[in-house]
Structures are given as structure tokens and as C-alpha cells.
């Protein structure tokens, strides 16, 4: 997730009571006797760090020469690798689409061009049933618009004119683009029938518990079945049946109004959707759908996980309400040992929760009609982390205490619409901004990334969030028993406490061998390669005077939690969503909001074009080994 000063997403919902345990005591209880850790001598000794047996085939530490920390105007990658800029904001996606003209932007042109602030990237091979690494579809989220970086004069988001608002709307959502590798480079195929833009105006439908209920019926959706558009899309995942899940995250700031004297006020307040601090957009001034005074239920149409089929341009995207409504960072999906699917989700805000959904029915390979219903029926639950190393999943199921009429829940629809409030009632653990959650394909362990929480005070410290004023974030490892992702209890371990291990104030924890360039801050996205190595992308390292980027480390064995620096962003940018072709010879990722914190007219960088007539442009890049080797070698 990224945000800009002119469109701040940093709102905070009502505080909840939560008591904690002293940091030193947490480490004493939770640290195992395997592995070695480097960090400050907070406990007066060199502590041990948890470690699990290496999985068969795990490659351990990558062999490339590590990139140095730094901060400048351009993109850097480790020695022996090259980066190709593949898709830039404004690039035409169709044969009749106009060329990018930043001084004369308009919504019609933007609707046929690559969108802004690309985040999540996923590769889907062509044909659908194959495993091609040279021909496929890229599905890319466009999370938000940086108004002061998009428009001449650097206007604030709330001050935009109607045409600028409409252009920004068309810049959000998703792009589906066919790409092919030809002659050692990647090329977008403008004439492809698969190419598609999905925007805040695209017709969609609800499915699951909230479909058709009174609370989601509006003048633009009188039956509560059809809905319009998606925006605020952060991370996502590819399903085992070949569709894509995209997560709506910071949707609150697009709405204006107070929804006064309506039943939705309580839920909106818990969501952080009301008040002048959150109304950072001019959308509601020109489009009544984003005015909660005129359409008090409109906000309930946002904050969901959306499923699309990139292979079928006629497929109507579906908002899967059984997965609940929150500020979804992502939705990591895995097939359980019994065939059912589990979806892990982080609610990306300070003191919010980690959720899980387990389908009622199993996944059936080759049965698309059945699989497209899997995410509509199952059990939603929320995580509580205990000091004894146990993670307990508490069901969020209507009819069982406390999710009953007595607490304002009349059906499962109410539970999923007000998922945060439902989670409050069962003692879920408030976390330090839960971001992406992914499953190690070799061990089945679940890795949860938490970006930061500078508002956590010492009295609020708990076992899973062990630092007050957490500036740097951390990563937890969740271990389902015998790879059972439907189990009621897991065990958990800290994986990394980010920050500078040579600064005692950071209380950072890594493998003892971490280099001066191997430490990082503000982990955000993550993914695994096929060897079980964890790739970590950061968002917020610029605050340390160091560029954001990508680090990679082993998740098991003697090199566990030993990061190496691989890719470095231009100033102001973050790197998002690394993903690999099946042969692991190309890594795609997003470079989002280059030049953030400056402005259109005098940007701190003009990456990637470095043309004085062009602003910086968020882009998708393709990273390849110069000798054709696998990424990480």
C-alpha cells in the first residue's frame, strides 16, 4: 500500500482496550534455541532465534551480489541483472487508444490506457491450461491517484475540477494486458482480445451473505445484487482455478458526507469512513454515488475482495462478501490438505486484525462452475495471538454468541458487513498494520507481514506486536498443525523484527549474518519463489533516508531470516508485488508513486522517461538475469 501527502489514508478507528506484556519478557518466552539472531542487546545477551527444519529442495541463501542501500532518482538492481520498463502510466492498451499526453489528459483517453499507481501484479500463462513463461496475461491493480503528481499545477485531491476527477476515476481499478517475450524483451500486445480495463464504473455483482440484503440496496442497486466498480485495490492473488482476487483497501477517503441519522453511522465510524479527516477526495462533489448524505448505504459497496476472470473479458467481476468487509491489503489463498481452500487476509490499518476464510466445499480441478462458488460459503474467523505461542481462530458466525441480535447482528450479512465490529467482540489481537499474508509452498507455513504502528504505546505491547512506537514493522510465521489450514489453533513464531540491527533503539532481529545492506524497514508485500525463499517488498523506508526496494531470504534452515538486498526504487517510490514466470527467469513487479512528496511541476525524479516534458510515471518492470539464469541466482 502507498499513499501521498495530498491523499492521506492514515485515519484511525475507535481505540479498543488491550493490555500487553513487556518486550523483554515476550522475547524471553517466545525465542527458541535454534538459529542465531543479530540485534541490540536489549536482554543483556545474544538471544536465540526460532528456526524450522529446511524443507526438501529449499535453496537457502541466494547467490547474487547484494545491492547497496541508497536513495537517488533512478532504479537499481543487483549486479548481473537488468530491468525493463514494460508498462507505464498512460501507455495505450488498445490499437485505437491515444498516446499519453500528460498536459491534455481526459477520462476517455485514460480509460483506454494503462492506469496509475500500479500495485498488485499477477502472471497468468497463455493458454489457460499451460505453464508458459513467454506468453501470458499480466493483471495489475491501480490503487489510487496521486493528484499532485498527475496534474500540472500539483493540485490537491479535494480541489480537482470535474474532468480531473473523472480522469482519476478512469486511472484506478485494474488493467489486464497480454504480454509476450520476444528476442529477450517483453512486449505488450495492444491488439489482444484479452486486454481490458476495470474501473470504478465497471458493472459488477455481489455474491455471498450480503447479496440482495436490505443494507446494500441503493438507488443504483435497487435489488442489492448488482454493484458498480472497484477502487482502492491493493494486493491480491491468483486462485487455483485461474481467476484473480483483488482486494479493496483504502476506500474510505473517496466518500463525503456523514450519513447522519441512519443505521449505518455506527459501522462507518468503526470503519473510519466518516469525518473531515477521511474526506480527502472530490469524487462526492461531482458524483452522488460517493456522497453518503445522499446515498447512506453506498459505502457498504466498497471494502470487499473482488474476483475477476482475466481469461474471459465477458466475465462480470464478483464481490465475494463471505470474505468480509474491511480495508483488505490482500488475500493469500491455499488449497488445504482436505481439498478446501483457505484465504488469509490482513486489514491494513493500525490496531486491526488478521482474518481467515475456509470454504465449505473442496476445490475440484477441472470444474470451473463449482470452483466459482467456493468463496461464497464457508467459515470466516479472526486471529488471537497468545503469549504461549498459540494462535486461536475465533469464528465470526451469526447465531453464536456474541454475534446475535443482542449485539446488533441480525444475519451473517451483518457479520460480514461489520466484520471489524464482529472481530472486536471475540477478543481478536489488534495488530501493527497487517499487510500481505502468503503461504510457503514447501512448508505450508503462513507468513504475515506487518508494516508499522508508531501509535502503539508500551501498555499496548503484546506477544505478536512486541515493540511500542513500532516504526519499522515485523513479520510473523504462523504454523498450522500438519499443514491443516482449517485447524482452530496454530502455533506462531516471530520471523523478523525490521529496523537497523546496529541501532539499539530499533530492537531489530534478524539472522546474525545480516549485512549493513540486508536490513530493511516497513515490509509490505511478500511472495515465495518455488525454492521457498521469501521475497519482501517495503513501503516507507524513505523515512530513513534509504530507498524502498526488495529483499530476499530463506524461510527455513541455517540462513533463515538472513535478507539480501536485490532491488532499489527511485526516490519517493515503493516496489510492490514481485511475481515470477513459471520458469523463474523473469520477475515482474510494480514501481508505484515515483517522486512522492514532490509535485508534478518540480518532481524529485522523472523516472522512468527522464524527459523534462514528462512527469514521473508509475510502471511495471520485468527483471531478468543477464545470462538467462533464474531470479535469485
| Sequence ranges of the domains in the chain | 23-251+302-625
Question: What pLDDT is recorded for position 14?
Answer: 45
CA dihedral defined by 185, 188, 192, 194, rounded to 10 degrees?
110
Round to whole Å and give the CA distance between 613 and 152. 11
The residue ranges of DSSP E strands in 57-159, in sequence order, are 76-77, 81-88, 118-125, 135-142
Q: Are 563 and 552 in contact (CB under 8 A)?
A: yes
Average pLDDT over residues 618-630: 97
Contacts of 59 (CB under 8 A, 6+ apart): 531, 532, 533, 554, 632
Distances (CA, A) of 374 to 207, 208, 282, 330: 11, 10, 37, 18
Round to whole Å and give the CA distance between 619 and 112. 16
pLDDT at residue 71 tops 60: yes
As given in the structure block, the three cell numbers for residue 392 are 486461536
CA-based nearest residue to 397, from 380, 421, 418: 380
Q: Is 493 helix (H, G, I), strand (E, B) or coil?
A: strand
Angle (CA) 227 233 236, round 5°: 105
Chain centroid to Cα 312, Å, comes to 24
Average pLDDT over residues 368-374: 97
Round to whole Å and give the CA distance between 198 and 118. 13
Three-class secondary structure assignment of 313-333: CCCCCEEEHHHCCCCECCCEE
Percent of the chain with pLDDT over 90: 86
Neighbours of 276 (CB within 10 A): 8
Type and span of the H or E element at 393 = strand 390-395
As given in the structure block, the three cell numbers for residue 293 are 448524505
Measured over the CA atoms of residue 117, residue 123, residue 126 and residue 128, the dihedral's sign is: negative
Task: Encode pLDDT of 235-285 as tens digits.
Answer: 999 999 999 999 999 999 899 998 887 889 999 999 999 864 455 789 999
Question: What pLDDT is recorded for position 38?
Answer: 59
Which pairing describes strands 510-511 and 135-142: parallel, antiparallel, or unpaired?
unpaired
Question: What pLDDT is recorded for position 299?
Answer: 97
Contacts of 135 (CB under 8 A, 6+ apart): 125, 126, 178, 179, 180, 181
pLDDT at residue 579 tops 60: yes
The residue ranges of DSSP E strands in 168-256, in sequence order, are 173-182, 185-188, 196-198, 203-207, 226-228, 233-238, 244-248
Question: What pLDDT is recorded for position 626?
Answer: 97
DSSP class of residue 449 equals: E
Contacts of 613 (CB under 8 A, 6+ apart): none
pLDDT band at 453 (very low <50, low <70, confident <90, very high): very high
Angle (CA) 492 540 519, round 5°: 60
Task: Encode pLDDT of 324-366 as tens digits.
Answer: 999 999 999 999 999 999 999 999 999 999 999 999 999 999 9
pLDDT band at 1 (very low <50, low <70, confident <90, very high): low
Contacts of 525 (CB under 8 A, 6+ apart): 235, 330, 435, 436, 449, 536, 537, 539, 575, 576, 577, 578
Widest distance between CA atoms in the chain:
67
Round to whole Å and give the CA distance between 75 and 262. 49
pLDDT band at 52 (very low <50, low <70, confident <90, very high): very low
DSSP class of residue 98 equals: P
Question: What pLDDT is recorded for position 275?
Answer: 63
- Mean pLDDT (the chain) is 91
Q: Is 490 helix (H, G, I), strand (E, B) or coil?
A: strand
Average pLDDT over residues 388-414: 96
Chain centroid to Cα 105, Å, comes to 28
Q: Are 58 and 632 in contact (CB under 8 A)?
A: no
Q: Is 484 helix (H, G, I), strand (E, B) or coil?
A: coil
Question: What pLDDT is recorded for position 18?
Answer: 38
Average pLDDT over residues 313-330: 97
Amino acid at each position: 500500500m502507498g499513499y501521498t501527502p495530498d491523499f492521506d489514508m492514515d485515519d484511525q478507528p475507535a481505540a479498543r482496550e488491550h493490555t500487553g506484556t513487556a518486550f523483554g519478557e515476550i522475547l524471553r518466552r517466545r525465542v527458541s534455541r535454534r538459529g542465531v539472531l543479530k540485534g541490540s542487546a536489549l536482554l543483556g545477551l545474544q538471544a536465540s532465534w526460532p528456526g524450522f527444519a529446511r524443507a526438501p529442495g529449499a535453496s537457502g541463501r541466494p547467490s547474487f551480489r547484494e545491492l547497496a542501500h541508497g536513495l537517488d532518482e533512478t532504479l537499481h538492481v543487483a549486479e548481473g541483472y537488468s530491468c525493463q520498463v514494460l508498462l507505464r502510466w498512460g501507455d495505450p492498451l488498445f490499437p485505437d487508444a491515444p498516446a499519453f499526453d500528460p498536459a491534455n489528459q481526459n477520462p476517455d483517453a485514460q480509460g483506454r490506457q494503462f492506469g496509475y499507481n500500479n500495485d498488485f501484479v499477477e502472471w497468468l500463462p497463455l493458454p489457460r491450461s499451460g505453464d508458459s513463461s513467454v506468453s501470458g496475461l499480466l493483471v495489475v491493480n491501480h490503487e489510487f491517484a496521486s493528484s499532485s503528481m498527475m496534474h500540472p499545477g500539483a493540485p490537491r485531491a479535494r480541489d480537482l475540477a470535474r474532468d480531473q476527477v473523472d480522469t482519476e476515476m478512469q486511472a484506478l481499478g485494474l488493467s489486464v494486458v497480454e504480454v509476450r517475450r520476444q528476442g529477450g524483451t517483453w512486449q505488450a500486445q495492444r491488439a489482444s482480445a484479452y486486454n481490458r480495463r476495470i474501473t470504478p464504473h465497471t458493472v459488477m455483482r455481489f455474491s455471498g451473505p450480503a447479496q440482495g440484503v436490505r443494507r446494500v440496496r441503493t438507488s443504483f442497486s435497487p435489488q442489492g445484487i448488482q454493484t458498480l466498480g472497484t477502487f482502492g485495490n491493493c494486493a491480491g492473488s491468483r486462485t487455483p482455478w485461474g481467476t484473480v482476487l483483488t482486494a479493496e483497501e483504502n476506500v474510505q477517503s473517496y466518500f463525503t458526507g456523514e450519513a447522519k441519522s441512519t443505521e449505518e453511522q455506527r459501522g462507518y465510524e468503526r470503519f473510519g469512513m466518516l469525518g473531515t479527516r477521511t474526506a480527502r477526495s472530490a469524487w462526492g462533489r461531482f458524483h452522488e454515488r460517493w456522497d453518503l448524505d445522499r446515498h447512506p448505504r453506498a459505502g457498504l459497496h466498497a471494502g470487499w475482495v473482488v474476483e475477476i476472470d482475466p481469461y474471459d473479458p465477458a466475465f462480470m467481476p464478483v464481490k465475494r462478501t463471505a470474505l468480509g468487509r474491511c480495508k483488505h491489503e490482500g488475500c493469500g489463498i491455499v488449497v488445504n490438505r482436505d481439498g478446501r481452500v483457505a484465504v488469509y487476509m490482513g486489514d491494513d490499518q493500525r490496531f486491526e486484525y488478521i482474518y481467515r476464510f475456509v470454504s465449505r466445499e473442496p476445490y475440484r480441478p477441472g470444474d470451473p462452475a463449482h470452483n466459482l462458488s467456493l468463496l461464497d460459503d464457508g467459515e470466516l474467523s479472526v486471529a488471537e495471538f497468545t503469549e504461549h505461542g498459540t494462535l486461536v481462530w475465533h469464528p465470526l458466525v451469526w447465531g453464536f454468541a456474541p454475534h446475535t441480535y443482542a449485539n446488533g447482528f441480525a444475519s451473517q450479512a451483518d457479520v460480514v458487513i461489520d466484520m471489524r465490529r464482529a472481530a472486536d467482540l471475540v477478543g481478536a489481537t489488534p495488530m501493527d498494520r497487517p499487510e500481505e499474508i502468503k503461504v510457503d509452498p514447501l512448508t505450508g507455513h503462513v507468513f504475515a507481514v506487518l508494516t508499522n504502528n508508531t501509535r502503539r504505546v508500551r501498555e499496548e505491547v503484546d506477544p505478536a506486536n512486541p515493540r511500542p512506537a513500532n516504526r519499522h514493522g515485523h513479520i510473523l510465521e504462523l504454523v498450522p498443525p500438519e499443514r491443516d489450514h482449517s485447524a482452530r489453533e496454530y502455533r506462531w513464531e516471530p520471523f523478523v523484527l525490521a529496523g537497523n540491527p546496529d541501532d539499539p533503539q530499533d530492537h531489530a532481529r534478524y539472522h546474525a549474518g545480516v549485512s549493513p545492506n540486508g536490513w530493511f524497514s516497513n515490509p509490505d508485500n511478500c511472495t515465495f519463489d518455488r525454492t521457498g525463499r521469501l521475497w519482501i517488498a517495503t513501503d516507507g523506508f524513505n523515512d530513513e533516508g534509504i530507498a524502498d526496494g526488495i529483499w530476499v531470504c530463506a524461510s527455513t534452515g541455517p540462513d533463515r531470516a538472513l535478507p539480501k538486498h536485490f532491488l532499489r526504487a527511485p526516490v519517493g517510490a515503493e516496489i510492490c508485488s514481485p511475481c515470477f514466470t513459471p520458469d523463474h527467469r523473469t520477475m515482474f513487479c510494480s514501481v508505484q508513486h515515483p517522486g512522492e512528496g514532490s509535485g508534478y511541476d518540480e518532481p524529485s525524479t522523472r523516472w522512468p522517461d527522464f524527459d523534462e516534458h514528462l512527469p514521473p510515471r508509475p510502471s511495471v518492470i520485468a527483471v531478468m538475469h543477464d545470462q538467462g539464469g533464474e531470479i535469485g541466482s
